Chains A and B, each alone.
Chain A
Amino acid sequence: MAIKELHKQLSAKEKGAVELTKRYLDRIEKYDKGINSYITVSAEKAIKDAELAQNRIFSGDSGLLTGIPLSIKDNICTLGTRTTCASKMLEDFVPVYNATVVEKLKNSGAVMLGKTNMDEFAMGGSSQTSYFGGVKNPYDLTRVAGGSSGGAAASVAAALCVAALGSDTGGSVRQPAAFCGVTGLKPTYGAVSRYGLIAFASSLDQIGVCGMTAEDCAIILAVICGEDKNDATSSDKAKGNYTELIGMSLKGKKIGIPKEFFGEGVSDEVKTAVMNGAEVYKDAGCELIEVSMPSLKYAVSAYYLISSAEAASNLSRFDGIKYGHRANGETYDDIIKKTRSEGFGDEVKRRIMLGNYALSSGYYDAYYNNANRIRTKIIEEYASIFEKCDVILTPTAPTGAYKIGQQEKDPVRMYLSDICTVTVNIAGLPAISTPCGYDKDGMPIGMSIVGKAFDEANIIAFCDVYEKTFCRKMPKERNSVQ
């Protein structure tokens, strides 16, 4: 059920906040053993949150999120509730503060059900690199949920929460949203404070939202966005009502379709589903314009060099001294090496090694600087497209969700599958993914609407128009929670 409808029922006392939370906790107990979307379920805390929310509702002091049960990705710090990043390194780490987004949700009266599973340190596109076991797709438990916010997307798809916070560094909200048949919003870089988000790649990371609809994502974004004194990269441009353009006429609006996003590696089923989506916009009066992003072919390499370089630096803090896993050793250096070798999984180690390669003497200009030159080119190419288009439409992922074990062990193949999403992070733009079809195996296909910086209200309105025409098929686990 949509957030607005739940809010109405809670406000009209047709439903109690505690009763609603308990129902979701029951569903998690019943269904999540198979899906593994949560690492930690904070049932007692959730019920206390719901009691507080109910008091606010009784006293007439409630907002749209008061009493709404949400999940939080496990790389977002939660005071008193362990935050693991799905890593052995942080298996027992309990933050001493709330991330700004968590504080904002708390102030709005939202209920946190627990912390969702993910790829370790948000590095991956399958949610199979988690130390706590992989996330399974609610549409087919033999398939991946996508990643890295696979737990967030799966928890929404299976109705194990109303909506979820995730994080998106190279597509980590949008791609799992596409794989799990839900809506995923990646806001503009700077729109949402990253304070308390455990850093992976600081110039690319952004907290985002998974929900059942664009409107649900917009409602949550309105609460979590805005400037924050604890994050110098947060912006005062992000504020306002993100649902204000919903219902606007799309007549005469221009949609750019970059031909390179429909090239080799993108399945025919995905191409057809996205172009069918484009036709819906054409019927609504939009003009479809073929555009070009010649630098797309370099995007994956540039993304992995920049993000890994930043990760190598960000993850140097995990030394076993101040917090996290600690190995025994004779010397300081011995302790650090053993701690990191035992605490990090294979993919995290690969990214740190690649990052140090890109930053090391003799390779810096050839790799790191060139990656940043490509970043500049991509930013310029997006700016050029937005001179003639209101939004851009692309596939979210080259294929639907694949079988667990099919490709996660092949790093290069995994990296290449990020081709449709990474440019948005490279350019710091907002994008929203919504289901636009199903493949021959019945798995959801997603399309992404990309907007200009801080133009979230516009892409949300575009997405809403499509969602009102599209008939979703839900996974069988998504039974009624009314």
Chain B
Amino acid sequence: MADKKLTEHLANLSKLSFTDEELSRVTDEMTDIIALMDMVQEIDRNQNTFTLPAVDYDSLRTDNADKSFDTQEIIRNAKTKTNNAFTVPKVV
């Protein structure tokens, strides 16, 4: 069961913010969703966890340096940029 404290904690982890009204709604929704997810508690814990289907991770290709994208192209989608860099507010 979710409460406002848990919802706030999850919102913080998720880098999301909610108004008080939204927080109440989301808490109710998360309560219902977690109740559905609780079904997985019934499984036998002796069962192996990870089995990834159909992928052979033992035969990865050699890592080769290759030409990448043009810097100007890469930053074209950024809302704020200076020369060849993304810009963010001063952190330190």
Q: Which residues of A contact B (CB under 8 A)?
A: 92-94, 96-97, 188-190, 203, 229, 232-233, 235, 297-298, 300-302, 304-305, 312, 316, 319-324, 326, 329-333, 335-338, 340-341, 344, 349-350, 352-354, 356-358, 360, 366-367, 369-377, 379, 411-412, 415-416, 427-429, 453-454
Contact B10 A360 (CB under 8 A): yes
A-B contact pairs, 14 of them (CB 8 A): A93-B77, A96-B74, A232-B61, A298-B43, A301-B37, A316-B15, A323-B77, A337-B17, A353-B7, A354-B34, A356-B13, A415-B33, A429-B53, A454-B54
User: Given the complex, which residues of B lie within 8 Å of A338, measured CB to CB?
Assistant: 17
Q: Does B55 reach chain A (CB closer than 8 Å)?
A: yes
Alpha-carbon distance A367/B79, docked complex (angstroms): 38
A335–B40 CB distance below 8 A: no
For A229, A233, A297, A349, which residue has the most chain B Cβ atoms within 10 angstroms?
A: A349
Partner of A376, one of B37, B38, B51: B51
Q: Does B65 make an interface contact (CB < 8 A)?
A: no
Q: B60 → chain A, closest Cβ, in Å?
A: 6
Q: A370 CA to B45 CA in the complex, in Å?
A: 7
Interface size class of B (residues with CB under 8 A): 35 or more
What's the Cα separation between A232 and B58 when bound, in Å? 10
The answer to whether B40 touches A371 (Cβ under 8 A) is yes
The dominant DSSP class at the A interface is: helix
Contacts of A297 in B (CB 8 A): 39
Instruction: Let me know if B41 and A370 touch, CB within 8 A.
Output: yes
Cβ of A298 and Cβ of B47 under 8 Å apart? Answer: no
Q: Which of B17, B26, B29, B40 contacts A367 (CB 8 A)?
A: B40
Contacts of B60 in A (CB 8 A): 232
Apart from A232-B60, A354-B34, what are 8 other A-B pairs with CB-CB below 8 Å? A298-B40, A320-B79, A344-B16, A372-B49, A376-B50, A411-B32, A412-B32, A454-B54
Residues of chain A with a CB closer than 8 A to B54's CB: 188-190, 235, 428, 453-454
User: Contacts of A429 on B, CB cut-off 8 Å?
Assistant: 53
Known: A332-B88, A350-B33, A411-B33. A377 touches B13 (CB 8 A): no
CB pair A357 B36 closer than 8 Å = no
Question: Which of B36, B43, B91 meets A374, CB within 8 Å?
Answer: B43
Tell me, rounded to whole Å, the shortest Cβ–Cβ distance linking B81 to chain A.
10
Cβ-based interface call for B48 (8 A):
yes
Residues of B within 8 A of A335 (CB): 88-89
Among B13, B29, B37, B74, contact of A305 (Cβ-Cβ < 8 Å): B37
Q: Which partner residue on chain A sits nearest B42 by CB separation?
A: A298
Contacts of B69 in A (CB 8 A): 96-97
Q: B89–A304 contact, CB under 8 A?
A: no
Contact B49 A304 (CB under 8 A): no
Name which of B32, B35, B49 has the most chain A CB atoms within 10 A of its CB: B49
The winner among B15, B45, B61 for most chain A CB atoms within 10 A is: B15
Identity of the chain B residue whose Cβ is nearest the Cβ of A96 in the assembled complex: B73
**Within the complex, which residue of B9, B44, B75, B77 is in contact with A324, where a contact is CB–CB below 8 Å?**
B77
Measured between beta carbons, the chain B residues less than 8 angstroms from A371 are: 40
Known: A322-B78, A338-B17. A189 touches B53 (CB 8 A): yes
The CA of A323 and the CA of B49, in the complex, are separated in Å by 36
Q: How far is the CA of A200 from the CA of B88 in the complex (A)?
A: 26
Query: B4 at interface (Cβ–Cβ under 8 A)?
Result: no
- Please tell me if the beta carbons of B53 and A323 are within 8 angstroms of each other in the complex: no
Q: With an 8 A cutoff between CB atoms, is B82 at the interface?
A: no
* Choice from B18, B34, B51 contacting A341 with Cβ under 8 Å: B18
Which of B36, B42, B80, B86 has the most A CB atoms < 10 Å from its CB? B36
Whether A357 contacts B10 by the Cβ 8 Å rule is yes
B residues within 8 A CB of A96? 69-70, 73-74, 76-77
In the bound complex, how far is the Cα of B39 from the Cα of A301, in angstroms?
A: 7
Nearest 3 pairs between A and B by C-beta? A428-B53, A323-B77, A326-B79
